[in-house]
Amino acid sequence: MVKNSTDTIKELIQKIVKSPNDTENYIKLSSIYFNNGDYELAANVYDSLLQFEPSNYVALTNLGNIFYFKRDFIKAVNYYSRAANLEIDNLTVYFNLGNAYAELGEFKQAMSNYIKALNMDKSNYQVYSAIGMLYQDRQNYNEALMYYERALKLCNSIPDNYLNIAFVLMKMGENSKAAEYFGKVCEMEPANPIYMLYCANANSAAKNYKKANELFNNVIKKQPNNYQAYLCFGISLYEQLNIEKAVEMYNSAIKINPDLVNAYMLLGNLYFSEHNFENAVSLYKKVIELEPVNSNAYTILGNTYVMLKDLRSAISCYKQAIDIDIENDELKLIYIEIIQEFIKTREDNTEANAAIH
């Protein structure tokens, strides 16, 4: 008869009570708690173990893992550092410590630990990928690309190594090259609509519209309710000057999920660009209805009213935008300028009326 976890937990607790210095029971108990998702209990058991054995490597590293998982990176660094200070050569500890420092934005400490990990195993592609991400976060795309390429050279069998390169190439404006790498990922997993959508966007950015349209249509065929696919296809079609089809895509997205603002905003922007300001107003109002604290929507609606020469409504929109985004000095300047223009317009109208009479 197989014991369930509750029976095993009770048995381990009894063993700990009888033999409080038996480290193996603490480790087994904590592992069960962790696997059950009881991270607080798992951490408490490891803490109890550290009370009488403060240099227990397993407890220190696993506590680091628990707090990293919980996104408490300061505590994760503390436990990983204590494990690393035991001078037990373990690539994983340095790698995890580097990851925790990276999450905290501590570039030098993260890099130092990644280098220590590489000194132990220069063939570990994951470390190169992590360093690439570190540079990418600092927008140093050339360095990021170099490390991602090293990771790919070491392991060309997983999609992520191609994806990392492709995303950086997009950041660098190398859209055609990015499309090639996304294409390789699609070859590896041809049924994956997420990868297909990445590839479609890259081809669209590279103005390879025939390929992009083919991919967008394939994604929608596989996933008829893929909201993001309709948005991306709409953006691409508008760039292709296929206005009618772009409108169709945005409306399809709205039908799929009428409670999300993205499609309303993009369709409103399309109408604004086409000088169809009345339709744009209607869509921006819908965005505000769904997100009453969206300062950007109020601002764009204000801009639209300016184009309609309805300065009174524009002023009201800008005022509401400022009430939401009170630190936006640029918006305040626009607000003042429109008020001044509104006053001047009224004065000019008054003078004109007086001259007539």
Dump pLDDT digits (tens) for 79-97: 999 999 998 888 999 999 9
pLDDT grade for 342, boundaries at 50, 70 and 90: confident
Q: What is the arithmetic mean of pLDDT over 140-147? A: 98
Its pTM stands at 0.83
Q: What 3 state SS string does 286-355 have?
A: HHHHHCCCCHHHHHHHHHHHHHCCCHHHHHHHHHHHHHHCCCCHHHHHHHHHHHHHHHHHHHHHHHHHHH
Q: What percent of the chain has pLDDT over 90?
A: 86
Token pair of 245 as six digits: 């089809």
Distance CA 304, CA 247 (A): 19
Q: Which residues of 165-180 are buried (b: 16+ CB within 10 A; e: fewer)?
A: bbbbbbeeebbebbbb
Q: What percent of the chain has pLDDT over 70?
A: 96
DSSP 3-state percent helix, strand, coil across the chain (nearest 5): 80, 0, 20
Name the more confident of 209 and 352.
Answer: 209
pLDDT grade for 1, boundaries at 50, 70 and 90: very low
pLDDT grade for 2, boundaries at 50, 70 and 90: very low
For residue 224, the surrounding DSSP H or E stretch is: none
What is the dihedral sign for C-alpha 242, 248, 251, 256? negative
Q: Give the pLDDT of residue 105.
A: 95
Q: Is the pLDDT of residue 228 over 90?
A: yes
pLDDT grade for 344, boundaries at 50, 70 and 90: confident
